[in-house]
Amino acid sequence: MTIKQKLCLLAGASLIAFSTSAFAESTVRVTIAEYSKGTGPYFEEAARAFEAANPDTKIQIEVVPWDNLQQKLTTDISAGANADLSIIGTRWLLDYVKESIVAPLDEHITPDFKARFIDTFLSPSVMNGKVYGLPIAASARAMYYNKDIFAKAGIDTPPATWADFKTAAEKIKQLGGETYGFGLQGKEIETDVYFYYGMWSNGGEIVKDGKSGLDSQAAIDTAKLYKSFIDGGLTQPGVTSYSREDVQNLFKQGKVATVITAPFLSNQIKAEAPNLKYGVAPIPAGPTGDKGTYGVTDSIVLFENSKNKEAAWKFLDFLFTTEQRTKFDKVEGFLPVNAEESRDPYFADNADLKVFTSLLPNARFAPVIPGWEDIAQTTSNAIQKIYLGEGEPEATLKEAAAKINETLK
């Protein structure tokens, strides 16, 4: 073979290599928290729609149960094996920002893009003047009540105060059988939040002036109140064996007359218990009229070590179009985070969602502070101890508050 022929072959090979690299497919990996049976199918469908419009990008979806998500992310990040994008609890974001794990998104965000959002839900992901995440899920908490059980017990309206609620629960107990007035969560994620509902109603705060509010009179009164529901047989037996999902299932089965939870329960009832007659009401107020609901956002973040930031951002932009947000929130039963989406009749005319949105002005969000997950777990451990009768409320809460104060330091 002549030198000229060899050069031609080399040139041809180089051209093929250049062509292959120029049109190489980039893969964006996305870790998704599983909210319901519809979560995975929605994101797979969204990924395929995005790929059809962007054939040079492959979207790889990995769906992870919520209870396993934080541990998976911790393991993956430590090994440098994390995805490009991931859903996280917004309450974890500060620790991620402090450790430079997530990338700010400001260079991609235009005024028009930012204007898509309802500020209440975008602001929790803004830290030090920079946007580190986008609100992929938003909700608040309210009380669901079983209208048939209330009617049988002679209760005309949902309870306005905790005192009214206890009276209602006692009337339901008098019906006999195995139906209980107060569906009370006692294990796993948001066990602490279920306690905060009462504490906020009593005028308490999770953290005040840099110190735990768990040893406040409001917290002590709430612990005594909840324990009186348990001891009076007004909750399902063995509350510390019941997660949020477990209590929701009891409500769908008609075994508890109330449950405090998020808007997504409405969709579950329609699908799994369509004959259940229920209403949605604000969480009962305390003796001074204070009301408390929990405002929640989960964020989707871009990791700093991503090698595909531009393609990942393009997928984020797609997910936060009005069309995609509307599809996702309808699947999951979340509150709209997109201003235009909120005007869709599905949301604007939805009686259940109107209750939740009416509570947002007084919603409390988890404090954006370092060590929040440790604080939440310490609180849950103390509450479980009180529910089980293994510790007196005041002493147990004071001990937990001292531990939390060490974390806060």
- Give the pLDDT of residue 4: 40
Pick from 334, 401, 348, 380: nearest CA to 141: 334
Residues in Cβ contact with 63 at an 8 Å cutoff, skipping those fewer than 6 apart: 32, 33, 34, 39, 40, 43
- Give the pLDDT of residue 93: 93
pTM for this structure? 0.85
Pick from 238, 210, 286, 176: nearest CA to 388: 238
What tokens does 223 get?
Answer: 């612990």
Domains in the chain, start-ordered, CATH in brackets? 3-139+296-365 (3.40.190.10), 142-282+370-408 (3.40.190.10)
Cα-based distances in Å from 123 to 101, 118, 119, 127, 258: 19, 9, 6, 8, 32
What tokens does 332 get?
Answer: 């999951």
Integer Cα distance of 387 and 231 in angstroms: 9
Cβ distance 103 to 304 under 8 Å?
A: yes
Per-residue pLDDT tens, the chain, 409 aa: give them.
544 443 344 444 444 444 433 445 799 999 999 998 899 999 999 999 999 999 999 999 999 998 899 999 999 999 999 999 999 999 899 999 999 999 999 999 999 999 999 988 999 999 999 999 999 999 999 999 999 999 999 999 999 999 999 999 999 999 998 999 999 999 998 999 999 999 999 999 999 999 999 999 999 999 999 999 999 999 999 999 999 999 999 999 999 999 999 999 999 999 999 999 999 999 999 998 888 789 999 999 999 999 999 999 999 999 999 999 999 999 999 999 998 999 999 998 999 999 998 888 888 888 888 888 899 999 999 999 999 999 999 999 999 999 999 999 8
Distance between first and last Cα of the chain: 77
